[in-house]
Amino acid sequence: MQERQDPLNRPETVCRWARNPRCVGLARVELRKSLAAWGLATIEDTALVVLSELLTNAVRHAHVSPGREIETRFQLAGGDLRIEVHDASDVRPHKRAASSDSECGRGLALVGVLADQWGVSERGGVGKSVWALMSVPPRDGDS
């Protein structure tokens, strides 16, 4: 885990993970720590679900060469929390129509409901970044 300021002096947490289902729980711990440090406990539950869905998709579907890692970035940017999941696969995620008895296929639909925006961006190099933006509620003393 690396806590840093981006070039615009915004707080950012960057972590790299092996493509393993265990990384989802570990990443949730790091997001929880970042949100607490930034005074954003009020959006923790929603942010954790969004992260879980995006990262689970990368773990399950980003079939890449062994040794390639998944990167998560959590950034406080203005009035938004930005959650990003980077992987080395060029295959873009898409919403699927899940049947009522399906155990999977609802993740991006859930992200679409919980986040204000989400999308996919190209990266410099191989792969993609799947991201979600969530509005940060005003804190006491903010106007």
* The pLDDT of residue 94: 62
Identify which of 70, 71, 74, 69 has the alpha carbon closest to the alpha carbon of residue 31. 74
CATH superfamily, domain 2-95+104-135, is: Histidine kinase-like ATPase, C-terminal domain (3.30.565.10)
Domain boundaries, the chain: 2-95+104-135
* The pLDDT of residue 5: 53
Query: Looking at this protein, which amino acid is placed at residue 60?
Result: R
pLDDT tens digits, the chain, 143 residues: what are they? 555 555 556 689 999 998 889 999 999 999 999 999 999 999 999 999 999 999 999 998 877 677 788 999 999 988 899 999 999 888 887 665 655 555 555 678 889 999 999 999 988 888 899 999 999 987 655 54
* The pLDDT of residue 82: 97
Burial string for 16-41 (b: 16+ CB within 10 Å, else e) reads ebebeeebbebbbebbeebbeebebe
Q: What is the pTM of this model?
A: 0.84
What gap in Å lies between CA 133 and CA 84, rounded to an integer?
A: 9
